[in-house]
Structure 1
Amino acid sequence: MLKPKIYIDGQAGTTGLEIVSRLSTREDLELLLIPEQDRHNDQVRKQYMQQADLVFLCLPDQASIEAAKWIDLDTKVIDASTAHRTDPKWVYGFPELSIEHRQKIAQSKRVANPGCHATGFISIVSPLVQKGVLSSEQIIHCTSLTGYSGGGKKMIDAYENHKTEAMEAPQIYGLDMQHKHLKEMQSVCGLKNAPLFSPIVDDYKRGMLTCIQLPLNAKNLYSVYRDFYTNGLVHVHPFGYPANINANGFSHRDDLEIIVTGNEKQALICALFDNLGKGACGAAIQNMNLMLGIKETKGLQF
């Protein structure tokens, strides 16, 4: 059987570079690498897309929208940008949401890869909405801590080569309360109201910790998650936690852990994962595997 041909449009960005690095060791795939001098040549890019069985779009939103128009309808596409995450013609790439969702990804030609903060939020909130624990009208407060690699090349360079004293401390951003992941958080979870969301970046490279608090019995919530997540790359830590939760605790891993702590009246629910793993590249490769009929976890670390 011929190896599937994979092309990554935007291979020089943070997400693109990570996917190239991971797929370059896969003997079951043929990776099509565009020469450096042709990365911005639209005609050459189109030629590579025409050769590919599956294309990753690792581009800014508008560029992804334009590039998606160039790709043959029979060619499989995974878009890592925000552009198509709430587009009904694209399948949202989070297979653990349901058996039906996993099947849709496997059968789809167009999959939108989730955002990193959104991955944490949806992994926590969607099961509770699906099971009727939370109303779709609930207004949910959420905080999410990320390593600086989530900000891309410029932020990585700033933290690693031009760090100021202010950057040594956590920094809340998205102060206009209009973070670009809010639309998918609300849409995928079926919420009528946008979450109240505070993202925070800190002085470590990789890892994400997304948390919500609810005035509900923590052990009961733990049971919901334990029964909901039975396969895939989302799993549930035994109830409680022995010490502090470190936001970089799952760096260089492609799975996600739900952690439930609290008491009979209040619960803290956290999603611990890598912003470049299950929050980006790991999820993209997981979706690629499903779309190509390959073992879902092939090439992933967990």
Structure 2
Amino acid sequence: MSLPTIFIDGDQGTTGLQIHDRLRDRADLQLLTLAAAERKEPRRRAEAINACDIAILCLPDAAAREAVGFIRNPGVRVIDASSAHRTHPEWVYGFPEMAQGHAQRIAQARRVTNPGCYPTGAIALLRPLVEAGLLPREYPATVYATSGYSGGGRAAVDAHESGDVPTVAPSQVYGLALEHKHTPEIQGYAGLAHRPFFVPAYGAYRQGIVLTAPLELRLLASDVDGARLQACLARHYANARHVKVMSLAETKAMTYLDPQALNGTNDLQLGVFVNADHGQVLLSAVFDNLGKGASGAAVQNLELMLNA
């Protein structure tokens, strides 16, 4: 029996390189690669994608759509790490822990769209609370997140690490037009009725994300408090290998969140910070934007699809 063939289209970008590093020593699959001179040649890309069992697209959105258009072999399955298909109804959203039975949907899918890095944390925090009725769908959600500069892709990494550019600010808030492409993804998969207020930033470090979402208890039902919110998240992720929900005792003892704490892993750490006197709760997510936020998630989805 032949080994499954995996083709990474865009294996020289930040996400593609990370996926290649995670897969290159595997003895249970075969990586199909193109020579440097062929990587942008449409004919060779089309041949490669139709010769594989599973294609992983690590491309800009337009190029990812082009790659899907190349497919003529009905047996080819796809994991798209771009944002081209994230809200497409015919693609399965690649966040296995999002809902009960969702990992099985990914395992059986022909087309899987990898989640965005920021949406991974936001949806992980908000969706279970919305589904449980603890957070109203109409809640005016706000999400603030800081990522390492690798979230900007290969060009951003080169710019920060080449030494040829002026020193960047310790933190740079962007998306000031309030049109960030991840916002519809967060709204749709979190189950929110209205567009959330999303404020992203890049920090002067390579990788890792801290994401927070503040909640006002006065805007929730009178019987909802921090303990119920934490318990809901803990129940939802009780059997999730890659997601840990901190206890209230753990969050109470913390004085800061380190965005780099889970770098190099595919793990996601969620927290609920409570100030009952002020009626305020802060939801938090910490994870690696190149791990659970990109390449790690793609490999997790690949494992599900290979073992279906």
Q: TM-score, normalised by structure 1?
A: 0.94
Shift of 1:259: 1.2
Q: Which runs of structure 2 are paired with 1:142-291 in the superposition (5 Å)?
A: 142-161=143-162, 162-165=164-167, 167-216=168-217, 217-230=225-238, 231-239=240-248, 240=251, 241-264=253-276, 265-291=279-305
Question: Aligned partner of 2:296: which letter?
Answer: G
Question: Aligned partner of 2:268: which letter?
Answer: L
Following superposition, which runs of at least 4 residues in structure 1 exceed 3 angstroms of deviation? Answer: none
Partners of 2:304 and 2:280 in 1: how far apart? 38
Of all paired residues, the percent bearing the same amino acid is 42
Contact 2:122 2:190 in 1 (8 A): no
1:201 match: secondary structure: strand
Partners of 1:168 and 1:184 in 2: how far apart? 28
Question: Aligned partner of 2:30: which letter?
Answer: E
Shift of 1:48: 1.0
2:221 is matched with which residue?
A: none
- Post-superposition Cα deviations, 1:247-272, rounded to whole Å, max 9, x if no partner, equal 11111111101011113321111010
- Post-superposition Cα deviations, 1:158-196, rounded to whole Å, max 9, x if no partner, equal 21123534x132110000011010111111112121110
Partners of 1:27 and 1:168 in 2: how far apart? 44
Partners of 1:187 and 1:105 in 2: how far apart? 18
Shifted more, 78-87 versus 240-249: the winner is 240-249
2:125 match: secondary structure: helix
Contact 1:6 1:52 in 2 (8 A): yes
Contact 1:106 1:293 in 2 (8 A): yes
- Gaps of at least 5 residues in structure 1 are 295-302
Shifted more, 113-122 versus 232-241: the winner is 232-241
Partners of 2:165 and 2:36 in 1: how far apart? 29
Partners of 2:65 and 2:101 in 1: how far apart? 27
Question: Aligned partner of 1:188: which letter?
Answer: Y
Distance 1:6 1:243, change over 3 A: same
2:29 is matched with which residue?
A: 29
- Post-superposition Cα deviations, 1:231-287, rounded to whole Å, max 9, x if no partner, equal 231121122143311111111111101011113321111010000000000000000
Q: Which runs of structure 2 are paired with 1:282-301 in the superposition (5 Å)?
A: 282-293=296-307
Partners of 1:158 and 1:59 in 2: how far apart? 19
Shift of 1:78: 0.2
- Gaps of at least 5 residues in structure 2 are 218-224
- Post-superposition Cα deviations, 1:75-118, rounded to whole Å, max 9, x if no partner, equal 11000011101101000000101222111101101000000011
2:152 match: secondary structure: helix
Contact 1:95 1:232 in 2 (8 A): no
Q: How many residues align?
A: 293
Shift of 1:17: 0.9
Q: TM-score, normalised by structure 2?
A: 0.92
